[in-house]
Amino acid sequence: MTALVLMVVGLVIGAVAGGYGMHLAASSAGGMRRFPARALADPVAIGDADTITVDELPVALVVLSRGGRLLHAATRAQSEFAEGLGTLIRHPALQRAVADLQPGGVSEVRIEADVPVRRVVQAFVKAGSWHGHSACVVVLLDATARDALDRARSDFVAHASHELRTPLAALIGFIETLQGPAANDAVARQKFLAIMARQAGRMQRLIDRLLYLSRVQMLEHQRPQGQVVLPDLFARLNDELQGKPAEDRAAVIIHAPPAGTVRGDADQILQVLVNLCENALRYGRPAPPAVARIDVAAQWLETGGLVISVRDNGPGIAAQHLPRLTERFYRVSQPAGRNGGDQGTGLGLAIVRHIVDRHGGRLDITSTPGQGTCCSVWLPQG
């Protein structure tokens, strides 16, 4: 792969130096005009009307001055990195590589940016000339998806294996008991099978959440281009909740949303609401005899954007836990007897945060012990 990239860089340098490519010249209006340059290394091409330009090369390419200033960005670079291109160009690692590059040298640098979302890019830099001045050609290869996959593997080894150990040990223990002392005990068999089913379900939910989180992270740097119709979104949420027990469905009050659309992935935004509702049902129930109530509502803000909120009237969350709620596998300890001993996977809010980040939004969680918790998701309209 590296050899292939360096070959592409060499081709591009030939373009910039005058073999192939696109030269820029100042126009009388102060802008820049494009002049296609013929492939002078090939005598046949001199009489050919076809030309090859930098923008036609199938790579994300930018040209920087030796001082690190942007001289040209190819169409592929602009479309692939969009508003994040400026962040990559100004990154200290790339600026340092450009400043330290020797004439005729080639450098490879890894760029890690966390704003607005995590992005990892491999940059290959080679010195050359642009319109008669010293410059550097930079080929950008997006390695974000590969980095997310590597991190998912690391997380699985470090955390998921530990999370799976408990239910797996329980299953093994009950199987051994059913094969031995309780082999002919019908009452114990029914009791143990019910516990085994819950533990197996816990393992399945954990694996499903891990796979979904991995997919979300691999797409996080790609801003969605679809449109989410709010009434349709809330109707789908209502349909999703029909699979819950009647008591849970009654606890969730879905208020009629305002008309309008937001840019986004409808399936992912629906997943955000489902996760927030499930968290509220699991952790946001008040102590009896109070009746659980979870309100889902949306409103447009005068300052711009849409806010969707999920509010419960449960026991609330202590302030020291709030900053860590979206960490993977982080869970707040529950009093004995609540939630049937099921503490969840600890991945629901992590998934919510990554989806909201992908949409350029913001997740806010506020809570007052004894009064409930409110999760608010702000999404830009355009």
Q: pLDDT for 227-247, tens place per residue?
A: 999 999 999 999 999 888 888
Q: pLDDT for 111-151, tens place per residue?
A: 988 766 778 899 999 988 888 888 889 999 988 878 877 77
Tell me the β-bridge partners of 309: 297, 376
Q: pLDDT for 55-113, tens place per residue?
A: 777 888 999 998 889 988 888 888 888 778 888 899 999 999 998 888 778 889 999 88
Q: Are 24 and 42 in contact (CB under 8 A)?
A: no
Q: Is the pLDDT of residue 263 over 70?
A: yes
Report the SS3 class of residue 67: coil
Please state, in angstroms and rounded to a whole number, the distance separating the CA atoms of residues 55 and 353.
36
Residue 113 corresponds to which tokens in the numbers above? 């940016």
Residue 36 corresponds to which tokens in the numbers above? 């296609």
Q: pLDDT for 299-327, tens place per residue?
A: 999 999 999 999 999 999 999 999 999 98
Q: Are 254 and 238 in contact (CB under 8 A)?
A: yes
116 preceded by cis ω (within 30°)? yes
Please state, in angstroms and rounded to a whole number, the distance separating the CA atoms of residues 344 and 349.
11
pLDDT band at residue 216 using 50, 70 and 90 as cut-offs: confident
pLDDT band at residue 262 using 50, 70 and 90 as cut-offs: very high
**Residue carrying the six token digits 């036609």:** 56
The CB-side HSE value for 224 (13 A sphere, CA atoms) comes to 25
Residue 219 corresponds to which tokens in the numbers above? 């797409």
Domains of the chain by residue range: 2-142, 145-222, 224-382
Question: What pLDDT sits at residue 26?
Answer: 32
Q: Are 313 and 290 in contact (CB under 8 A)?
A: yes
CATH of the domain spanning 224-382, picked from 3.30.565.10, 3.50.50.60, 3.30.70.580, 3.30.420.60: 3.30.565.10
Question: What pLDDT sits at residue 130?
Answer: 83
Give residues with Cβ within 8 angstroms of 126, minimum separation 6: 9, 10, 12, 13, 101, 105, 106, 107, 136, 137
Q: Are 278 and 348 in contact (CB under 8 A)?
A: yes
Question: What pLDDT sits at residue 338?
Answer: 55
CATH of the domain spanning 145-222, picked from 2.60.40.10, 1.10.287.130, 3.40.50.1000, 3.40.1000.10: 1.10.287.130
The better pLDDT of the pair 218, 269 is held by 269
Q: Do domains 145-222 and 224-382 have the same CATH topology?
A: no
Q: Is the pLDDT of residue 292 over 60?
A: yes
CATH 3.40.1000 at 2-142, yes or no = no
Q: Is the pLDDT of residue 296 over 90?
A: yes
* Length in residues, the chain: 382
CA distances from 91 to 81, 126, 167, 280, 334 (A): 14, 17, 45, 40, 44
Please state, in angstroms and rounded to a whole number, the distance separating the CA atoms of residues 89 and 128.
17
Question: What pLDDT sits at residue 180?
Answer: 87
CB atoms within 10 A of CB 146: 13
The pTM of this model reads: 0.64
Phi, psi of 142 (to 5 degrees): -75, 115
Where b means 16+ CB within 10 Å and e means fewer, 14-30 reads bbbeebbbbbbeeeeee
Count of helix runs (H) and strand runs (E) in the chain = 12, 14
How confident is the model over 32-50, as a mean pLDDT?
35
